[in-house]
Copies of this chain bind each other. A is one copy, B any other.
Amino acid sequence: MSDVEAAQLIEALRAEGLRVTAPRRAICQALAHGHDHHLTASTLHDASERALGSAIDISTVYRTIDALEQAGLVHHVHLGHGPAVLHLSDHVEHHHLTCEVCGFTVDIGLEELQGLTDAVAVRHGFTIDSAHFALIGRCGAH
């Protein structure tokens, strides 16, 4: 299934008129395999080099993430401080609850915040996109 997803990413790149190169293939593969592990640019970098079997420049990883984001295939989420984590866009969107002490993160369904986002939209004309930034707090242990 992950390989199917990797192939879909590659195909989507091609459809966008973007070039399919060896580093990009590896990056897509690593994304497809690890997107549910809160991949950051740096862990994606590592995984991509492992997948390719040779070095890839970190700037290439960032530029590829950028290309995939602009193509709407990937997006990034900020879990408090530290690096952004990456998600495949065709996966179920969810919000993140991150503990500011230990970094523990829970995914919660969009519908859990529906009431809030609706109310804020009505009152302030704001459309909340908290799937892009996590909700920060403290988990049970902290």
Known: A124-B106, A124-B108. Contact between A100 and B129, CB under 8 A? yes
Taking the closest CB of chain B, its distance from the CB of A111, in whole angstroms, is 11
Known: A97-B126, A136-B132. Contact between A112 and B119, CB under 8 A? yes
Residue numbers in B under 8 Å from A136 (CB-CB): 128-130, 132-133
Asked whether A116 is an interface residue with its Cβ less than 8 Å from the other chain, the reply is yes
The count of identical subunits is 2
Taking the closest CB of chain B, its distance from the CB of A110, in whole angstroms, is 13
A interface majority secondary structure: mixed
Chain B's closest residue to A97 (CB) is B126
Residue numbers in B under 8 Å from A135 (CB-CB): 120, 128, 130, 133, 135
Interface string of A91-109 (1 = CB under 8 A from B): 0000001011000001010
